[in-house]
Homo-oligomer: A and B are copies of this chain.
Amino acid sequence: MQAKRSGCPIAAALDVVGDRWTLLLVRDIGLFGKHRNKDFQEGAEGIPSNILADRLRRLVADGLVSRRRYQEHPPRYEYHLTEAGAALLPIVRAMALWACEHVAGVHMPPLPAD
């Protein structure tokens, strides 16, 4: 994590998740059951591969995501939410509801079955 900007916990949260992509990966893992690089790359938003690699690295470093090797040669990893990462899911859902109510043209799509 980068240096904290202030003692404010809101700023601290935004230092971790305050960008356009990090919470989409939390969504992919926690709501859509995606766990592997190629799954993230297939998302509708088209995350650039360099941003994907950077955000996964930061999510692991910040303790929001754990990484498990599932293949040795070449090494490949699966990503799962930690307790801290899963604790963001209510915030992610609240953002979705907020956008449905307050951003023009946005509607709740059907979620994949749990």
Q: Which residues of A contact B (CB under 8 A)?
A: 1, 4-21, 23-24, 27, 43-46, 63, 83-84, 87-88, 90-92, 94-103, 105-109
Contacts and interface: CB of A to CB of B under 8 A. Distances in A.
A99 to B, nearest CB: 4
Q: How many copies does the complex hold?
A: 2
A87 B99 contact: no
Contacts of A8: 24, 27, 44-45, 96, 109
A106 B9 contact: yes
B63 A102 contact: yes
A84 B97 CA distance: 12
A24 to B, nearest CB: 6
A26 to B, nearest CB: 9
